[in-house]
Chain A
Amino acid sequence: MNNLMNDLYPYFEDLSDRLLAGLNPGEDLSLNIAAEESLFVRFNKNAIRQNTNVEQITISLRLQVNHRSVEKSRSLRGQLREDMKSLTALLDECRHEAAQLPTDPHQVALANNGTSREEFRGELLAKEKIVEEILGAANGLDIAGLLGSGVVIRGNRNSLGQNHWFATESFFLDYSLYNGPKAAKGNYSGAKWNSDAWKKNLSRTRMQLEMLSKPLQKIPAGKYRSYLAPAAFGDLAGMLGWMGLSAAAWKQGRSPTKKLANGEAKFSPLFTLSENFSMGLAPRFNSLGEVAPLQSTLIEKGSWKQFLVSSRSAKEYGLQANFAIPEEFPRAIDIAPGTLSEKDILKEIGTGFYLSNLHYLNWSDPVTARVTGMTRYACLWVSNGEIAGPIQDLRFDESLYDALGSKLVALTDHAEIDPAIGTYVARDLGGKRAPGAIIDQFTFTL
């Protein structure tokens, strides 16, 4: 295939028409396609360490027959004869396996959830310009990071007539700047590469790095008033997305938000969390082609509103589905901003920490929603409203019932989008938006 953005849609239509035409009575089939044409360039010390062009197409077939489901996926070559041969064989394997399985009482019947087609064309950085644009701008700096750039596509059809398509051309440049062990983090991403915007982004990160040249502050573990910048607060509150928003995790006894959902506990009235697809970062349809509401509030002013509920959970537990993905992870978290203005942040910290980023978060005690993790990148000690200098990284261990509850003092009036830049298996879509937050008595343990 020479151009995925133009060629994949008709190809998928053709393949799926042929497969759907070959179904037997009583069989239903859902087809999902995921594709990308990406260029990845990895930087270290303002030089190029590795470059990889990737072209890949993956299709999955989900056969539902006699209350049994089997799903099989494979890479596609992009040649009709070979691909039809392997997909016909794959469909036969699905039939063969389905015949051996017990029935699945929680199976959701396929439905026609409509038709949609969204295409976002971008202006990507030409590969001939990478050296000059990126490394030229960072000349004299120690930069490390990754450029990912290209087309990402998701599509879905099924035997009930449903048809969804999402294609986007976009890039991200996720990077950090170093002065010995001191580092500052930056991310420049979007659909249209703009040389000036990139240079502005780089100079902002450079200014952060310069702030780290002040004397190192050795602060012992303890409880401190802390400002978590949007990336850090997004990561902390984003932990809720790891089982905390899932209806199935709640019903299966594994939810860290059980007390919140049962009304036994509340977060701060400052805290409102939604899933918001109007940010345009991810397709609204899931692998069953179900279209989620444009915006759903999950936690409102500290009180529980609803879980992410997949159709399967809805069927098993008698709940109302809101068309979450089967894993019930959020795809587009949006945390409402507050009223603290940028210029008042240091004053509001008073004496305490300014934390740009966190690292390696994990539940340390899921029942009490306790999270541990590390500070990382530009983290500073603030004394009487003035920056004293960078800190040695510290480990925190704190319950979200406290950090998002009584200890949450203020949220900034601006929220920043943090696009998903994950590239495990393939480039991710989605992202989150979060404001910065002041948390009082935030607990550091090591």
Chain B
Amino acid sequence: MTTLPFSPEQEIKKLIGRCEWASLRYLKETSTYRQVRNDLPEKNESMTDEGLMVEVLANGHFGHSATADLSSDGIARAFEKAMQTTQITSQVKAFSFKSDDRPPVRGKFESPRTKKLDSISVAEITDHLTAATKAMASSPLVVNRLAQATLIETDSFYFSTTGSDIHQNFNLIAIDFSATAAEGSENQTRSWSQTGQWGAEIFDRTRFVSEATRIGKESVALLKAENCPTGKMDLLLMPDQMMLQIHESIGHPLELDRILGDERNYAGWSFVQKEDFGKLQYGSKLMNISFDPQQAHEFASYEFDDSGIPAKKEFLIKAGVLQRGLGSQESQRRSGLPGVANSRATSWNRAPIDRMANINLEPGESTLEEMIAQVKHGILMRTNRSWSIDDYRNKFQFGCEMGELIENGKIVKIVRNPNYRAITVDFWNRLAAVGNLGTTGTYGTPYCGKGEPNQIIRVGHRSPACLFRDIEVFGG
């Protein structure tokens, strides 16, 4: 059980009556990174990030002050700073909020795990990662063999002057392998990752060795492969590319704070307008997209967001029609649109903003074989390697590590440097088949960047394989 370095009851009591409303959000997160390259230990590092965010409501404006000084004096000073700044800034506030926008909520959440993260030793992890880099060495052409493990333990507490009292504890894992084969000036990389809310049970040596062996061999095969052909053709995307496709062309444009213009000076605006909700045919009828913070083991599951709002599954897009935005209580109030509990902060030192969490594409009916059989001329693409999209989230170009050419319903050979480009709504309306549960994969990333000041956040994306018709595809 985590013991807090301050007394929440006492500290909250001191704030009651001194502002319209206030909260204390304490976070302690220890991230451990282990990296083995070419069978040798390269990085053994950890970071313990610990501090407190004081949020106040003054003159109808929420203001924030963050400190790592957790003494009574430190907390009092942070509160004073928040009040001083907020009294000034509230003269020209973007919107007038009420304390109802932070309803009192009490609860607890613990992410699922069967073995605690600290039950595996440094020696064991190093040994597993070394076994993986050794397994990648199928040929002397594999010049760089990398295996990384990130283990994260997070404790988050939230208390408010109106009685909120929330504790969430997370165990998170990200495993990343990559093998680079090089010859002359050509090089090709294959990678594998596993990301989610797991404990030490995820360290499965047999699985690590088999995935590592596969990517080592594939990197060499790609080195010898032909370039991806150019032209309009069918595109079959596997879940480890679908995650990026969903993230960039659905997740970000549906963030209500982007639609409201908060993000215009950094990540950008959105092609989606307020009037589009309930109407826009975002994609084909096969397209069902959910915000699902309750998917066990997915990377960004939680029970309460960082403004203390209970989180539950909601459909963003149903049968291709846009239903709901990715907007917190604050954004819902400002826009008058339906949203979700997605007020999230990267750490104790940033104010929460509208973020993705788990954004998933619901499985359909097709098997992978059925989808391949439907393709006369096309490419199957795996694992994202390049990503770029405009600031309204329209024109994108994505590249993958590996392509497989499909001719007359059969995979005929692998091709290298596969890329495709399209425009968001047109692309999703070309969705012709959605894979079943058996084709589904769950991925995630710790590195979604957004916000001013900048914040990275963890997101999860679960998707089946999907088939799109007549897409502009090209090679290196």
Contacts and interface: CB of A to CB of B under 8 A. Distances in A.
Interface in B173-221: 180-182, 185-187, 189
A252 B88 contact: no
Nearest to B125: A100
B431 to A, nearest CB: 20
Given A48-B93, A52-B64, A53-B81, A252 B350 contact: no
Q: Which of B130, B187, B423 has the most CB of A within 10 A?
A: B187
Nearest to B63: A51
B265 A174 contact: yes
Nearest to B219: A253
B262 A360 contact: no
Give the bracket for the number of chain B residues in contact with chain A: 35 or more
Contacts of B452: 40, 42, 145-146, 174, 423
Interface string A393-404: 111010000000
Given A77-B71, A101-B126, A446-B421, A106 B66 contact: no
A138 to B, nearest CB: 11
Nearest to B266: A146
A183 B386 contact: no
B391 A73 contact: no
Give the bracket for the number of chain A residues in contact with chain B: 35 or more
Contacts of A148: 453
Given A53-B64, A53-B78, A395-B395, A178 B264 contact: yes
A51 B453 CA distance: 10
A400 B268 CA distance: 26
B389 interface: yes
Interface in A70-114: 70-79, 90, 93, 97, 100-102, 104-106
Interface in B325-383: 346-347, 349-351, 353
A73 B44 contact: no
A346 interface: no
A101 B125 CA distance: 10
Contacts of A264: 185
Interface string A359-382: 111111111101011101000000
B25 interface: no
Nearest to A326: B43
A38 B182 CA distance: 45
Contacts of A77: 68-71, 74
Contact of B454 (A74, A102, A424): A424
B397 A397 contact: yes
Contact of B92 (A47, A128, A181): A47
Interface in B81-118: 81-82, 84-86, 88-94
Contacts of A102: 40-41, 126, 130
Contacts of A105: 40
A254 interface: yes
A51 B262 contact: no
A72 B449 contact: no
Contact of A131 (B89, B94, B417): B89
A55 B94 contact: no
A144 B261 contact: yes
Given A52-B64, A74-B48, A100 B122 contact: yes
Contact of A69 (B44, B186, B265, B349): B44
A427 B454 CA distance: 9
A101 B85 contact: no
A178 B268 CA distance: 12
A258 B186 CA distance: 9
Interface string B137-149: 0000001100000
Contact of B64 (A51, A145, A258): A51
B59 to A, nearest CB: 11
A445 B419 CA distance: 13
Contact of B89 (A41, A101, A365, A446): A41
Given A52-B65, A101-B44, A78 B88 contact: no
A131 B388 contact: no
Nearest to A253: B182
Contact of B69 (A71, A78, A367): A78
B347 to A, nearest CB: 8
A395 B453 contact: no
Nearest to B189: A254
Contacts of B189: 254
16 contacts: A40-B452, A52-B453, A53-B81, A58-B47, A72-B47, A73-B46, A78-B68, A253-B180, A258-B185, A359-B391, A362-B386, A365-B419, A395-B388, A395-B395, A424-B454, A424-B455
Given A51-B63, A253-B143, A254-B189, 8 more contacts: A42-B453, A47-B93, A74-B49, A104-B42, A144-B261, A145-B452, A258-B185, A393-B391
